[in-house]
Amino acid sequence: MKVFKGYAAKAAGGALEEFEFEPTPLGAFDIEVEITHCGICHSDIHLIDNDWKLSTYPLVPGHEVVGVVTEKGASVDRALLGKRVGIGWQSGACLTCSECSSGLDHLCAQSRATCVGRHGGFASHIRVDSRYAFILPDALASDVAAPLLCGGVTVYSPLKTHNIRAAHHVGVIGIGGLGHFAIQFASALGCEVTAFSTTNAKEKDARELGATNFVSTSDPKNLRQLRSSCDMIISTAYADLPWESYLAALRPRGKLVIVGVPSTEISIPGFTLISGEKSIVGSAIGSRSTITEMLTFAARKEVGAVTERFPLSQVNTALASLRAGKIRYRAVLEVG
């Protein structure tokens, strides 16, 4: 029997420890991937800490995976062997329900996550459904591409869904992993981009990534000055924010898109939405077709992760740095 090697949390909030596990059987549509890189998304920290009450331990996190296909199930094309692929948050869906049939497979009720109830990418190998593994464009280096598989598509998807174009003004709250992609994608679409950040030291980087404006939110007065100006604001922060002030920064019919997961309820007076016909909408990762489109767009427009790289053996150092808000802008584990 084969053994895969990885790092697992044994209890909520615990440090990751070396861990060996037997792979699940290789299903007809499955592939085995020898992992070379895995990004660390803040969702991995939410899972390690059991913030969402769905973690089981031992837990091998990791859902921004890049590697090479080494084995295939009976129904997988031989041509996939040896190919470099990426795998994101989602690793399966029923592929027959109305959501799956209409290109919204990421919203399938039977969606399976790469590292929930199964072991993820902080490991030597992974077995996943080949239909959730994406061949990467040659132009994207593996470390630059890995974080696109979750962080990248999560902010690309609402720009596509809500038809954001060059005439629009997009705000991005939180310049971390997701936020630094949101600035790049909105800028590449030609939009005016405003970065909202608690960290003044990120202004130079935000502008280099494509932000037109930088608003320091450590002083709430700065936020109040910006009224009725953004068509869309994407919130990537995992914190509770002054939501009314951000709604005030939207133009009429503007949308506040929630992708970061706040720890408490979002509470706002109804009139904040009614006057100006504004909306608060959620957005979850992206469908298979959106991931494929996003990868092509990223390769063509040179959108990629700004990374800090760590060997897999230093995963706890990388996690501590992310928890401390020190990563610029995505930690990527190098495996092997």
Q: Which residues bind ligand NAP (CB under 6 A)?
A: 41-43, 46, 150-151, 154, 174-179, 197-199, 202, 236-239, 259-261, 283-285, 322, 325
> What, of Zn ion, ligand NAP, none, does residue 331 touch, CB below 5 to 8 Å by kind?
none
First to last CA, the chain: 20
Q: Which is nearer to Zn ion, 41 or 126 (CB)?
A: 41
Tokens of 73: 């199930």
**Contact of 158 with 283, CB cutoff 8 Å:** yes
> What, of ligand NAP, Zn ion, none, does residue 209 touch, CB below 5 to 8 Å by kind?
none
Nearest residue relative to ligand NAP (C-beta): 176
- Kindly identify the residues of this chain, within the stretch 16-55, that bind Zn ion according to CB under 5 A: 41, 43
- Encoded amino acid at 7, one letter: Y
As measured in angstroms, the least distance from the Cβ of 40 to ligand NAP is 8
As measured in angstroms, the least distance from the Cβ of 272 to ligand NAP is 19
Residue 150, interface with Zn ion (CB under 5 A)?
A: yes
As measured in angstroms, the least distance from the Cβ of 151 to Zn ion is 6
As measured in angstroms, the least distance from the Cβ of 1 to ligand NAP is 34
Backbone angles phi, psi at 27, to 5 degrees: -70, 170
Alpha helices in 4-113 (DSSP H): 42-48, 98-101
Alpha helices in the chain (DSSP H): 42-48, 98-101, 142-145, 151-161, 177-188, 203-209, 220-225, 243-248, 270-274, 288-301, 315-323
Residue 91, interface with Zn ion (CB under 5 A)?
A: no
Q: Which is nearer to ligand NAP, 16 or 318 (CB)?
A: 318
Tokens of 165: 């174009």
As measured in angstroms, the least distance from the Cβ of 310 to ligand NAP is 15
Pairing status of strand 125-129 against strand 30-40: antiparallel
Interface residues with Zn ion (CB under 5 A) are 41, 43, 150
